[in-house]
Chains A and B, each alone.
Chain A
């Protein structure tokens, strides 16, 4: 329990530090201007979302291999948090795209893949809630977790080639991202650390809750 509180606390402190760095310390990007500051939230959230989906596939394979309920709870918890961070990543991305590219949305390979990623893991969560409880639902989830993960690079490739055939309709004047200079790298790393600790905290919290949920479920049926 103390470990978990430490994680929550350090994530909170790091978030405060990150906000201070973003608004008071980091220099404004020459090319992208003030809007670039959302980068320190947007990219860490994207990376953490991807980390969550790696945890889903690891938990899925682990469940099928070892039949351990812990692995399934881990996969489920990670999928939920992954969808949450993907949603936030898409929203912050759109907020950033509007001033920089002049559009809310464009079908670039990254954006297309992120959206499909969101659909795949939303489908995973729906499958889990509509499938029977217990072993069967866990097996279905694990198979979906594996198929979904393998599909992502194929989606990316298809979206990339599709872009070659259909060139971007709106190419913003500032579409190119500049490279990061020293202070920006530090702020980015603080952001990454802040969101990774937040992810670790949420994962542990959701994992425990999921375990308790299945325990309650089992107790309920054992007394009927």
Chain B
């Protein structure tokens, strides 16, 4: 275990650093930090669980109603969970001058962005993969579908692409906690629509062909915004 875990850092310090080594080093730093502080996955997990429980009371989904409301409940819970994760992405760098350390790294800002973005993606995805079976049990739904995992991965990646950029901006503003969702939600609307509709199709038992356009939309969103965000991240961090 120790052998493997040290790998990314060592790869970065060798004479021939490859372009992905700094990305992995930043990702690894965040994973290590999370394993010691536990400030990200656990609180988000409990929070999204709470969202689902609260929805259960306000909607009272009877068996006939479940398939109609479940996709919406699931994606509201995941979007809020994602929101909390995005808040942490850069606010944790503001403590003890973490952001200055990152900015002093002798690597491109696009690589810093990709490292932070993948970290966010990873943590939110972990929460969601734990929540899916819980959700399936509570609403009595067949959620062990590979299609659903793909939808979750694509949507969460989309959240992380624009979310990491907005998180880096919001930490330097007044009213940062409220500004992040206001920036994030309108931009993420296509992903939220696509993820909910694709989930609805999966629950209705449709084949992949029936909802593949939603997957394509999310994949397109992911590619477009990972490129734009990586290219513009230099301007977000500044000097």
Using a CB–CB cutoff of 8 Å, the interface residues on chain A facing chain B are 64, 116, 119-120, 122-123, 126-127, 130-132, 135-136, 139-140, 142-144, 146-148, 150-151, 154-155, 157-159, 161-162, 165
Tell me whether B186 is interfacial, beta carbon within 8 Å: yes
- Tell me if B126 is interfacial: C-beta within 8 Å of chain A: no
**Beta-carbon nearest neighbor of B220 in chain A:** A154
Cβ-defined partner of A139 (8 Å) among B176, B186, B217, B238: B238
Q: How far is the CA of A157 from the CA of B197 in the complex (A)?
A: 13
User: Is A136 a contact partner of B187 (Cβ separation < 8 A)?
Assistant: no
Taking the closest CB of chain A, its distance from the CB of B149, in whole angstroms, is 21
Other-chain contact of A64, B194, B221, B235 (Cβ < 8 Å): B235
- The answer to whether B64 has its CB under 8 Å from any CB of chain A is no
Pairs A–B under 8 Å by Cβ, sample size 22? A119-B185, A120-B187, A122-B182, A123-B183, A127-B169, A135-B238, A136-B238, A139-B235, A140-B236, A143-B165, A144-B169, A144-B183, A147-B225, A147-B229, A148-B186, A150-B225, A154-B217, A157-B217, A158-B189, A161-B213, A162-B197, A165-B200
**How many residues of chain B are within 8 Å of chain A by beta carbon?**
33
Alpha-carbon distance A130/B176, docked complex (angstroms):
8
**Chain B interface residues toward A at CB < 8 A:** 162, 165, 169, 172-176, 179, 182-183, 185-187, 189-190, 193-194, 197, 200, 213-214, 217, 220-221, 224-225, 228-229, 232, 235-236, 238
Closest to A132 in B: B172
Q: Tell me the bound Cα distance from A42 to B173 in angstroms.
A: 36
The listed residue (B165, B176, B217) touching A161 by CB distance below 8 A is B217
Chain A residues with CB under 8 A of B235: 64, 139, 142-143
Least Cβ–Cβ distance between B92 and chain A, in angstroms: 20
With both beta carbons as reference points, the residue of chain A lying nearest to B187 in the complex is identified as A151
Is the pair A127, B197 in contact by a Cβ cutoff of 8 Å?
Answer: no
- Cα A147 to Cα B233 in complex, Å, equals 12
Q: How far is the CA of A162 from the CA of B195 in the complex (A)?
A: 11
With A123-B183, A143-B165 as known contacts, state yes or no: A131 contacts B172, CB within 8 Å.
yes
Is B193 a contact of A120 with CB atoms below 8 Å?
no
The total of Cβ contacts below 8 Å across the A-B interface reads 88
Chain B residue contacts of A64, Cβ below 8 A: 232, 235
Which chain A positions have C-beta within 8 A of B186? 116, 119-120, 123, 148, 151
Residues of A within 8 A of B175 (CB): 130
Report the separation of the CA atoms of residues A222 and B186 in the bound assembly, to the nearest whole angstrom: 38
Known: A130-B174, A139-B236. Is A150-B183 also a contact (CB below 8 A)? no
Q: Are A157 and B228 in contact (CB under 8 A)?
A: no
CB distance from B221 to the nearest CB of A (A): 6
Complex contact A150–B228 (CB within 8 A):
yes
**Given contacts A139-B235, A140-B236, is CB(A127)–CB(B173) below 8 Å?**
yes
The smallest C-beta distance from B233 to any residue of chain A, in angstroms, reads 8
A135, A147, A159: the one contacting B165 at CB < 8 Å is A147
Bound state CA distance, A120 and B173, in angstroms?
Answer: 17
Residue from the list A147, A148, A155, A165 in contact with B190, Cβ < 8 A: A155
Query: Which residue of chain B lies nearest to A117 when distances are taken between CB atoms in the complex?
Result: B186
**Smallest Cβ distance from A127 to chain B, in angstroms?**
6
Contacts of B213 in A (CB 8 A): 161
Closest chain-A Cβ to B167's Cβ sits at a distance in Å of 12
With A and B bound together, what is the CA distance between A127 and B228 in angstroms? 19
- Pick from B162, B189, B193: contact of A147, CB under 8 Å: B162
CB <8 Å contact, A150 and B217: no
Query: With the chains together, A26 CA to B96 CA distance in Å?
Result: 68
Which A residues are in CB contact (< 8 Å) with B173?
127, 130-132, 140
Least CB distance from B173 to A in Å reads 4
CB-CB nearest in chain B for A64: B235
Among residues of A, the one whose C-beta sits closest to the C-beta of B232 is: A143
CB distance from A160 to the nearest CB of B (A): 10
Instruction: Report whether A165 and B179 are in contact in the complex, using a CB–CB cutoff of 8 Å.
Output: no
Q: Which residues of A contact B232 (CB under 8 A)?
A: 64, 142-143, 146-147
